[in-house]
Amino acid sequence: MQLTGSQILVECLKEQGVDTIFGYPGGAVLNIYDELYRHQDEIRHILTSHEQGASHAADGYARSTGKVGVCLATSGPGATNLVTGIATAYMDSVPMVAITGNVAVNLLGKDSFQEVDIAGITMPVTKHNYIVKDVTQLADTIRKAFLIAQTGRPGPVLIDIAKDVTANKTEYQRVTPPIINRITDTFTAEDISTAISMIVESKKPVIFVGGGAVISDAWIELREFVKRTDAPVTDTLMGKGAFSGEDTYYTGMLGMHGTKTANYSVTECDLLITVGSRFSDRVTGNTARFARNAKILQIDVDPAEINKNVLVDHAVIGDIKEVLKAINNRLPEQKHKDWLDHVMDMKKKYPLKYHERGLTGPFILNKLYELTNGEAIITTEVGQHQMWSAQYFNYKYPRTFITSGGLGTMGYGLGACIGAKVGNTDKTVINIAGDGCFRMNMNEIATATRYNIPIIQVIFNNHVLGMVRQWQSLFYGERYSYTTLNDSVDFVKLAEAMGAKAYRITKREEAETVLKEAISLNIPVVIDCQLESDDKVWPMVAPGAAIEEVFTEEDLEAGNK
């Protein structure tokens, strides 16, 4: 049948099972929006307050559901406002399709009104991107984009569509999307045998879990692998929840703000089994001294990550779920009692600690964990609150900690929270933000209230840019250059003005009542928590230091650092 480009786009989205789009209209996408109006009972469109909010919402939807997130924007500034969100998704391997309109084909390249080369701009931060100038190519392009976004290591794909393409007609025939098979042809039985030999020969193994284990939905296989290997487990920000934070084998996060137990264990181990991690600099510290006593076995779907940041002794390249299945089928149960006893002794000796006075971020997170029984989805912005959220909320399941790891995007969390809640209506979804981050995209509270999306926005309001201030305090002689937010902004009034229920917590005794009520209301809620300006994230590894040089506040005060 003959359909317009806009009709073809909507039909292709329906082919792909898309139920939600986050976007913002404009001239170049008017035909698309007219068609979405006709299909609003099949595809829900969430009008965000800003295009960046749309891209982050699509990202949060994707991370929390495992489906492809979709965002839509007009040409020029609408398209460029998506770029930060696209880059965020790219760095953390999030399946997203970003659709942008552009000027008509005969106006391309002429500096036309609201024209920009968005494909050129996004080329470094997409898995692939397309410019569609011919309506006959549109359907196949959309199908390819969704396939690429989900295949292998996921990531964002951009489709830029000229406006006249959305109006022109061509023949359309529905196509059922292909089943996406997991990648298994990249590893051999010999690869698995070598990995098993390394595990069997090891006396002090550590399992290091990254975001790849979450992306591949390998959490059941991972937990079986841990039992078979009888090894302690550490993780990255992206890997949280793939292995339960409540499990006795769990030692905490690794790296700059990792636990002493995790950092010391990796330094002392004789085999580091890395499952879906790319060895980020925030994890490894000084790479020359990282896990220097260990052989390293890396399991990853992306061959580009092998030997990129850290040289490894053996790699198994393939879908993590399938690799772990293959290993579990052949790995005899191991026992490492002496090693585990040593690691568990470190856990007792070096617990995470925070001040038992006043209102603090860790206290609020512990209270949230208690009140939700650890069943909530937590999204975050970037900074101290993000690290506390990683440390003090024990994630039991994958896709429950949604945060910007690779790009470190301030302003990410609120949009992501909205997307996660839209994709998980049965879950409590809470965004943890610092006051500096909240300012960046706080207008998305209006999105939550417009659609009555019942998110809970918790602001750790310490009136400073906390993480930058922490570095200025420790490494820049307490020269607090432009990190103090000593103005008169009232987040409670702002939230109320945007239609949300708002609270302010100033002391510990108020926290439980307010948090409990916020969880029960099932409406958009903003909670302004007044914290001390100089609370810090501990432990910490100084930039350029080895991870075993991790230190705490007590170490600093005792002159041990």
- Catalytic positions are 51, 113-114, 163, 467
Strands (E), 111-236: 128-132, 156-162, 169-171, 205-209, 233-235
Distance CA(380)–CA(387), nearest Å, equals: 9
- Strand 169-171 and strand 2-4: the pairing is antiparallel
Distance CA(255)–CA(257), nearest Å, equals: 6
Map tokens 């390998």 to a residue.
218
CA 159 → CA 206, 369, 475, 560, distances in Å? Answer: 42, 40, 44, 54
CA 189 → CA 333, 377, 448, distances in Å? Answer: 19, 38, 50
- Strand 377-380 and strand 401-402: the pairing is parallel
CB-hemisphere CA count at 13 Å for 312? 26
Distance CA(204)–CA(182), nearest Å, equals: 31
Report the Cα 22 to chain-centroid distance in Å.
18
SS3 207: strand
Distance CA(194)–CA(182), nearest Å, equals: 22
Ranges of H-type helices in 151-302: 163-167, 189-201, 211-215, 219-229, 260-268, 281-284
Alpha-carbon radius of gyration of the chain: 24
CB atoms within 10 A of CB 549: 17
Residues 6+ apart with CB under 8 A from 188: none
For residue 59, give both structure tokens: 């990202």
Distance CA(295)–CA(313), nearest Å, equals: 6
Map tokens 């990129």 to a residue.
308
Q: Give which of 133, 53, 69, 66 is closest to 101, Cα–Cα.
A: 133
Distance CA(191)–CA(326), nearest Å, equals: 10
CB-hemisphere CA count at 13 Å for 463? 10
SS3 101: strand
